[in-house]
Amino acid sequence: MGRYVVRRLLQMIPVFVGATLLIFLMVNVMGDPIAGLCGDRECDPATAAQLRREFGLDKPVWQQYLTYMGNVFTGDFGTAFNGQPVTELMGTAFPVTVRLTIVAIVAEVVIGITLGVVTGLRRGRPVDTSVLVLTLVVISVPTFVTGLLLQLLLGVKWEWIRPSVSPEAPFDELIVPGLVLASVSLAYVTRLTRTSIAENRRSDYVRTAIAKGLPRHRVITRHLLRNSLIPVVTFIGTDIGALMGGAIVTERIFNIHGVGYQLYQGILRQNTQTVVGFVTVLVLVFLVANLLVDLLYAVLDPRIRYA
């Protein structure tokens, strides 16, 4: 187990280098970062050259990458063009996104798995059919429609929630945006759980559990559910990585200043340091989330052993 974790961590190094190099090149090749600084007018050539020297942009790209990575390992993600250190931006953006992700994941786990179990046990009955149709609708409607609609109804018309989240973004204000963000994944979790439950329900070990005279709730929670959750855990695990990447659409609708918002601003203003910095951290988050999912497998299913 320990050796497996070490091996996986070592495998992360080339993935990490490759991913950051790729994003570094893409951001550099796509346009001149200085051009965006002077608004709509063209920059004064002397000022531009001065800025290029200052940010090291006159050096070859590979050298820029090495300098950048060197700095990253000392915890210096550079400065955004407005003079704010990128780490400071991360410091305000990530806690907000983490809170939003927590709301979304809790919704996926609690609502998604519950609906999945209920429908999986009542396959073909009216509850099952209606939930299935509902999930299909949720999957088909884009997030910006659901988001804007809920914002309009709950926030503006009925005034149950604040249509725009305050900069501190406390948990209670993130409930509706979190649900919007989770909606599509929630529908997938429901469907995955449903299929898995319905399949395992006919399995021999569930029949054994019933023959042992165990109460129904114990058969379901202890014998059926744990075996059925393995594919669901995979999905939720990878979804954590995706959700941490920030929900550009959801964050914009509800004016949440999280990772998605900062990335969007960074790309819009061609703010290289911000974009590369955030993506670098996201690559790490994604890799770690995947590793955790793989390790969780072994906990859920003892037949899986890592050596």
Partner 1 sequence: MLLEVRDLHVEFHTRDGVAKAVNGVSYAVDAGETLAVLGESGSGKSVTAQTVMGILDVPPGRITAGEVLFEGRDLLKLKEEERRKVRGAEMAMIFQDALSSLNPVLTVGDQLGEMFTVHRGMSRKDARAKAVELMDRVRIPAAGERVKQYPHQFSGGMRQRIMIAMAMALEPKLIIADEPTTALDVTVQAQVMDLLAELQREFRMGLILITHDLGVVADVADRIAVMYAGRIVETAPVHDLYKAPAHPYTRGLLDSIPRLDQKGRELYAIKGLPPSLTRIPPGCAFHPRCPMAQEVCRTDVPPLYDVTESDAERGSACHFWRECLHG
Secondary structure element (H or E) that encloses residue 25, with its range: helix 2-30
Q: Looking at 204, 217, 268, 307, which residue binds partner 1 (CB under 8 A)?
A: 204
According to the binding rule CB under 8 A, does residue 208 interact with partner 1? yes
Residues within window 288-307 making contact with partner 1, judged by CB under 8 A: 300-303
Find the binder of partner 1 among 227, 234, 238, 255 (CB under 8 A): 227
CB of 150 to partner 1, least distance (A): 39
Near partner 1 by CB under 8 A: residue from 53, 125, 157, 212: 212
Size of the site for partner 1 (CB under 8 A): 22
Are the beta carbons of 93 and 261 closer than 8 angstroms? yes
Nearer to partner 1, 165 or 209 (CB): 209
User: Which residues, numbered 173-202, are part of the site for partner 1 (CB under 8 A)?
Assistant: 202
Q: Is the Cα torsion angle 142, 263, 251, 193 positive or negative in sign?
A: positive
What's the DSSP call for residue 110? I
The region of 138-146, 156-164, 217-225, 279-287 touching partner 1 under the rule CB under 8 A is 217-225
Q: How far is Cα 294 from Cα 271, in angstroms, rounded to an integer?
A: 35
For partner 1, the binding residue among 179, 223, 233, 282 (CB under 8 A) is: 223
**211 touches partner 1 (CB under 8 A):** yes
Task: Assign residue 166 a region (left: φ > 0; alpha: ψ between -120 and 50; beta: otherwise).
Answer: beta
CB nearer to partner 1: pick between 123 and 269: 123
Distance between CA atoms of residues 142 and 34, nearest Å: 35
Binding residue (CB under 8 A) for partner 1 from 82, 218, 221, 231:
218
Q: Does 249 bind partner 1 (CB under 8 A)?
A: no
Q: Is 125 in the site for partner 1 (CB under 8 A)?
A: no
* Residue whose CB is less far from partner 1, 59 or 226: 226
Cα 263 from chain centre: 13
Note whether 129 binds partner 1 by CB under 8 A: no
SS3 34: coil
Closer Cβ to partner 1, 23 or 198, answer by number: 198
d(CA 183, CA 185): 6
By CB under 8 A, name the one of 6, 153, 156, 210 that touches partner 1: 210
CA distance 114 to 116: 5
- Rounded to the nearest whole angstrom, what is the least distance from the CB of residue 198 to partner 1 in the complex? 13
Quick check: 205 binds partner 1 (CB under 8 A)?
A: yes
Beta carbons of 94 and 257 less than 8 angstroms apart: no
Question: Of 127, 214, 288, 291, which lies in the binding site for partner 1, with binding defined by CB under 8 A?
Answer: 214
Closest CA to 276 of 14, 12, 25: 25
Q: 175: Cβ–Cβ under 8 A, 6 or more apart, which residues?
A: 103, 161
Residue 209 is a binding residue for partner 1 (CB under 8 A): yes
Exposure string (b/e) for 233-265, b if CB count within 10 Å is 16 or more?
bbbbbebbbebbbbbbbbbebbbbbbbbbbbbe
Q: How far is the CB of 234 from partner 1 (least distance, A)?
A: 16
From 54, 63, 18, select the one nearest 33 (Cα to Cα): 54
Question: Which residue ranges make up the site for partner 1 (CB under 8 A)?
Answer: 202-205, 207-215, 218, 222-223, 226-227, 300-303
